[in-house]
Chains A and B, each alone.
Chain A
Amino acid sequence: MLINLSNIKKVYPGSKDPVIEGLNLAIKEGSFTVLLGPSGCGKTTLLRMIAGLESVTGGSISLEGENITNMEPGDRNLAMVFQNYAIYPHMTVKGNIEFGLKNYQMTKQQREERIKLVMELTGLTGFENRMPNQLSGGQRQRVALARAISKSPKAFLMDEPLSNLDAKLRNQMRSELIQLYNKMGTTFIYVTHDQTEALTMATDIVVMKDGKIMQYDTPENVYSNPANVFVAQFIGDPGMDVFQTTDDQFIGFKPRALTTEPVAEGVSFDANLLTTEYLGYDYQMTFEVPGKGTLVMRNKKKMTSGEAYRLSVPLEDLYYFDRDQNRCEPFPITGLKEVFHADK
């Protein structure tokens, strides 16, 4: 394990309620770990505590077995890439990278070599003497990356580093980050609330909600084997439809598992089609199940709004959750009470 968080608690000064409480997490060496969760769930707080920029109210953090809970950020040998780049506006590209290296007492020659290397790695060669205001957003982000890489840190911490870029550039930088990760093999801890980013880049995903870890697993498992109703509804585009059963347990299914064909075994119910949206690859239909609420369906076939349908889900596509909303063994379905939405 590279980083171990045990029983972490965080209370911001001036507020009573903890943002994070009793959190345990072990981040694997060499992993690309993504912290994923809705806005305000404490991802940034957690990352900043690892970096040392935020104090820890309770619990401890260790890095390679060493307790770093109260260590200065500059002594942890971690590098961070910020959402708004945070490159020094009054220094050239080269100066930005050199600033940190100087603080670590490198000789001039060592610095030059290191700078040359990271400039090549991030495709910035030739931009050494540019000022940050002469660079595009993507190039600035690359400078921030180059600065982080130059320190050869034990881990890279990134807080939504791509969210200030336009969609096209974001995709490009995403694939560059993956390449960089593959090349270097250093641990990445990456915060995002964008699940596409999480699923495409991560080797491990930590799904968080209200300062708690809901699931810590591979992208495949988070997507196909959600541990609870929250993850089931949060992951996926869109997330699962979930029914509360008459005995207060839950069943869920992916919107693409819904069908208008009769099924041999499974659940079926009547629903009125409210809206149909064309999304390119397929259509998204929103249904109202009379007296139970609304749910969505994804299908390649266009369906006409305002009509009534009988919808079914095959048995093998059903996910079962117990009264505490945790995944459980299949149970006999007594009846459907209402459509359930985990609060986001």
Chain B
Amino acid sequence: MNSAYKRRKVLKLIGRIIECLLLIALIMVFILPFYWTLITSVKSMWEAVENPPTWWPREFHWENYATVWNEQNFLKYAKNSIITTFGASIIQLVSSTMAAYAFARLRFKGKKTLFFISLADIMIPAQVIFLPIFIIYSRLGILNTYLSYFLIYIYSGSTIFFLRNAFMQVPEELVEAARLDGASEFSIIFRVLLPSVKSFMITQIMLILISKWNGYFWIQVLTTNDHIRTLPLLLNSILARVEGLVIRYDLAMATNVLIMAPMLLYIIVFSIRGFVLALQCKARRIPLLGKLIIIQFDYFYTFS
């Protein structure tokens, strides 16, 4: 009996070790692109394109960052990124919240049909509709304006869908109690419904902000000059530049790091605990990993 107990303990330990190794391998898979980005950003122009690549920079060219920062347009692009990200996110959130409330809580004629139509947005890819939109906006003369970009996000089928589902989880009686308490529709949405689905909202807000910050497609479609162009487009123009027969991967990666900086900062500040747990192989939920995955997907989606 004693030996059976011991064997069970050993088996458990082995299982634990395998689990840890797998987790470490997983982390490596996700960390590696970041590591590569980070070291390339401080390599020299020539070392950055060496094949096979070096795993540690021979010399540190911190001035790459200064070069990027002093690029004529970096601050302008950064400003545009901030304005478009927050503007579009706020518009998307507010309009979707109100639409989701109507679909989840109000009774009106044609609700089912309208909801189905709004879902069509999820199924039709942007690549299918960008051309008509471009033509319409061009006729309206609003290309190269923030307004054109905000208009794209005035309506989002997926956000409406997710928020509606979240609102439907909130018991009907809570809304009715508020109604009896004399609350207005706005008060019901913003002081009863939204706080009841707070954690869900935070996730949604994060996803929406990240997708706007990394957004590339629509800005590219809606601009013919760099008036409202954002950082991902700056990166693109750096990658398109060839100096002395090489693409400036060092500068591109430095730009990349700067683009990711706010997100990385957020992750580092809010996920140190999760990171420590992950390192101790104790993590039940690994927020850091989850967020890295999200960023990775967006990253590849944007540049592939």
Partner of B173, one of A52, A73, A74, A86: A86
What residue of chain A has the Cβ atom nearest to residue B175's Cβ?
A86
Q: What does DSSP make chain B's interface, helix, strand, loop or mixed?
A: helix
Selected from B107, B178, B179, B195, the residue in CB contact (under 8 A) with A90 is: B195
Among A51, A53, A151, the most chain B Cβ lie within 10 Å of the Cβ of: A53
Q: Which one, A82, A86, A99, contacts B183 given CB within 8 A?
A: A99
Report B162-187 residues with CB < 8 Å from chain A CB: 171, 173-174, 176-183, 187
B180 touches A51 (CB 8 A): yes
Asked whether any CB of chain B lies closer than 8 Å to the CB of A145, the reply is: no
A13 adjacent to chain B (CB < 8 Å): yes
B192 CB contacts on chain A under 8 angstroms? 88
Of B171, B182, B195, B198, which contacts A86 at CB under 8 A? B171
Identify which of B179, B182, B191 gathers the most chain A CB atoms within 10 Å of its CB.
B182
Interface status of B196 (Cβ within 8 A of chain A): yes
Q: In the assembly, what is the distance between CA of A74 and CA of B174, in Å?
A: 14
Question: Is B182's CB under 8 angstroms from A100's CB?
Answer: yes
The reply to whether the CB of A80 lies closer than 8 angstroms to some CB of chain B is: yes
Report the separation of the CA atoms of residues A79 and B178 in the bound assembly, to the nearest whole angstrom.
11
Interface contact A82-B181, CB-CB below 8 Å: no
CA A74 – CA B175 in complex, angstroms?
12
Which residues of the partner chain A approach B182 to less than 8 Å between Cβ atoms?
74-75, 100, 103-104
Residues of A with C-beta under 8 A to B171: 84, 86
Closest A-chain residue to B174, C-beta based? A86
Interface hub of B180, B192, B196, B198 (most chain A Cβ within 10 A): B180
Contact B178 A99 (CB under 8 A): yes
| Interface residues in A78-118 (C-beta closer than 8 Å to B) | 78-80, 82-84, 86-91, 99-100, 103-104
**A133-166 interface (Cβ within 8 A of B):** 147, 151
Is B196 a contact partner of A86 (Cβ separation < 8 A)? no
Closest Cβ of chain A: how far from B238's Cβ, in Å? 46
Instruction: Report A-chain residues with C-beta under 8 Å of the C-beta of B178.
Output: 88, 99
Query: Looking at the complex, which one of A79, A88, A90 makes contact with B180 (CB distance below 8 Å)?
Result: A79
Residue with the highest number of chain B CB atoms closer than 10 Å, among A13, A82, A104: A82
Given known pairs A88-B192, A90-B196, the reply for A80 and B177 (CB within 8 Å) is yes
Closest to A54 in B: B176
Instruction: Say yes or no: B195 contacts A74, CB within 8 Å.
Output: no
B181 touches A74 (CB 8 A): yes
Tell which of B178, B181, B182, B195 has the most Cβ of chain A within 10 Å. B181
- Complex CA gap A51/B179 in Å reads 10
How far apart are the CA atoms of A89 and B171 in the complex, in Å?
A: 11
- What residues of B have a CB within 8 angstroms of the CB of A75 in the complex? 182
Contact across chains for B107 and A103 when beta carbons are under 8 A apart: no
Bound form: Cα–Cα A54–B176 in Å: 10
Does A89 lie within 8 Å of B187, measured CB to CB? no
A residues in contact with B180, CB < 8 Å: 51-53, 73-74, 78-80, 100
Q: Determine the chain B residues whose CB is within 8 A of the CB of A51 once the complex forms.
A: 176, 180
Cβ-neighbour of A82 out of B177, B191, B196 (below 8 A): B177
Contact of A86 with B177 in the complex, beta carbons under 8 Å = yes
Contact call B181/A99, Cβ cutoff below 8 A: yes
Closest B residue to A85 by CB, please name it: B173
Distance in angstroms between the alpha carbons of A73 and B184 in the assembled complex:
11
For B195, the closest partner residue in chain A by CB is A90
Q: A90 and B183 in contact (CB under 8 A), knowing A53-B176, A84-B173, A99-B178?
A: no
Could you pull out 22 A-B pairs where Cβ atoms are within 8 angstroms?
A: A51-B180, A53-B176, A53-B179, A72-B179, A73-B180, A79-B180, A80-B176, A82-B176, A84-B171, A84-B173, A86-B171, A86-B176, A86-B177, A88-B174, A88-B196, A90-B195, A90-B196, A90-B198, A99-B191, A103-B181, A104-B182, A147-B177
Residues on A close to B: CB < 8 A? 13, 51-53, 72-75, 78-80, 82-84, 86-91, 99-100, 103-104, 147, 151
10 extra interface residue pairs, beta carbon distance < 8 Å, beyond A82-B176, A88-B178:
A52-B180, A72-B179, A84-B173, A88-B174, A88-B177, A88-B195, A90-B196, A99-B181, A100-B181, A103-B181
